[in-house]
Chains A and B, each alone.
Chain A
Amino acid sequence: MNTDLLAALPWALGYLFAAPFLGGLLAGIDRKVTARLQGRVGPPLLQPFHDLRKLLSRRLDPVNRLQIPLVASHLVFSALTGFLIFLGTDLLLVIFILTLAAVFLVLAAYSSGSPYAKVGADRELLLMMAYEPMVILTLVGLFRVTRSFDFWGIAASGLPLVALLPGVFLGLVFILPMKLRKSPFDLSTSHHAHQELVKGLTADMGGPVLGLVELAHWYESVWLYGLVFLFFGWNPLAAVLGPTLTYFLIILIDNATARVKWEAALASAWAVTLVAGVGNLLPYWLRGMP
């Protein structure tokens, strides 16, 4: 156990240092591909880094004294989520850290006086309600097949998990836009201009405060694709192709769909969780004890 932790420690530390660069690069490629899909030239590939550098260089000007510790906690726990995942800690524990990170961002939004931020925070809570069952079911499904709740244990199982758990994988891909703040589920806040809530969750967050939120988002997107990788980990080629194709699929969905109302987001996420996720696991459960 302890030797496993020690073996995983370089990976976890590597994540802490490399995730901001990898996450920023993912965001940069995303913006470039999105621009090309729309027939535009698009920003430079490294634009997210320019944005972050600018945001962090601006004067710290929070709307209240609570905002900074809340947003900083959001960043710390977002990074900690990935750190613990790649350390091989029990994934069920990690879900609580992940929820804590999300709750801190919601609290930061609630702490501002902006009505846009408050509606954005309400919607973020609804999205959490929508995606959490599927996150838990993903881990339950991975355990059911591999008998492991830790990242490296699952990755070392050598099973073609995407073939064994197609419904669970579909459910995970369905909720990915919620965590990545992408259409059709970018109702709490959006990267794109002119959404009906102005900036929603991040309204009233400017300069370094917004920079921290952005950094936390990069940390999150890296470990999210880490979860996607688990489904393809049995084969080196699949391990590269699977997450890459999923990444481009999410960009395509982002560009091809309109933002849905919260009722549709909640209902569809739970329906997919129930039909694809539970439906996938039902035969496993019927065959024997979990």
Chain B
Amino acid sequence: MNKSTKGPAIEKSPWLIHYDASSCNGCDIEVLACLTPVYDAERFGCIVTGDPKQADILLVTGGVNNLNGPILRNLYAQMPEPRAVVAIGACAYSGGVFADCYNVLGGVAEVIPVDVYVPGCAARPEAILDGVVRAAILLAEREKAATAATASAATPTAATPVSTGGGK
């Protein structure tokens, strides 16, 4: 209700879903480390949910292959808009050391659009948190743009009948 005055709430409450594509588990351990007392992702309002319908940001670790590609696409399709994807680690970027394997398609971007790349092999928890916060800001900007677009779209439609009516 107070959206316009307070700014998008999504920035203060980015809920995450984590999918391990074909990671070596190095990055996954670092993702879990983000929830521990040392890094504590909940400071930023993050909740790790297993439910794509409740998630705002999809964290993907590891490269994509023929088996998990469709699963990743399915998870992404179930997330409501606006949504963001954070590809974590070298494998999620390009397939990493597994890029030349016969079954590896490459990075996450082969299947779904990626918004933020977190570098590292394995990615450090600080870098992952940074990526999540950047994705949250991105989501807020996107929501702002969407509300502005609907507002500007509403004005011409309201104005159109007036203009076609000939100065009524």
- Using a CB–CB cutoff of 8 Å, the interface residues on chain A facing chain B are 31, 35, 38-44, 47, 50-51, 53-54, 57-59, 61, 63, 193-195, 198-199, 202-207, 210
**A59 CB contact (under 8 Å) in B35, B42, B81:** B81
Pull 16 A–B residue pairs with CB atoms less than 8 Å apart, ordered by A. Answer: A31-B42, A40-B37, A40-B42, A42-B42, A43-B43, A44-B12, A50-B45, A51-B45, A54-B13, A54-B56, A58-B10, A58-B80, A59-B80, A193-B49, A199-B51, A203-B50
**Chain B interfacial residues counted at CB < 8 A:** 27
CB nearest to B147 among chain A residues: A57
With an 8 A cutoff between CB atoms, is B58 at the interface? Answer: no
Tally of A-B residue pairs with Cβ under 8 A?
Answer: 84
Chain A residues with CB under 8 Å of B56's CB are 54
CB nearest to A31 among chain B residues: B42
Q: Find out whether the CB atom of A54 lies under 8 angstroms from the CB atom of B80.
A: no
**B51 CB contact (under 8 Å) in A41, A61, A198:** A198
Q: Find out whether the CB atom of A61 lies under 8 angstroms from the CB atom of B13.
A: no
Chain B residues with CB under 8 Å of A199's CB are 49-51, 54
With an 8 A cutoff between CB atoms, is B48 at the interface? Answer: yes
Q: Find out whether the CB atom of A57 lies under 8 angstroms from the CB atom of B3.
A: yes
Which 9 pairs of residues, A with B, have the shortest CB-CB distance? Answer: A206-B53, A198-B50, A54-B9, A53-B9, A193-B48, A39-B37, A50-B12, A54-B13, A40-B40
Closest chain A CB from B34 CB (angstroms): 11
With an 8 A cutoff between CB atoms, is B8 at the interface? Answer: yes
Task: State in angstroms the CA–CA spacing of A206 and B43 once bound together.
Answer: 22
CB nearest to B56 among chain A residues: A54
Closest chain B CB from A112 CB (angstroms): 10
Given contacts A53-B9, A202-B54, could you give 6 more A-B pairs where the C-beta distance is less than 8 Å?
A39-B37, A44-B12, A47-B45, A51-B13, A57-B9, A207-B53
- With contacts A193-B48, A194-B48, A198-B50 taken as known, whether A35 is within 8 angstroms of B40 at the C-beta atoms is yes
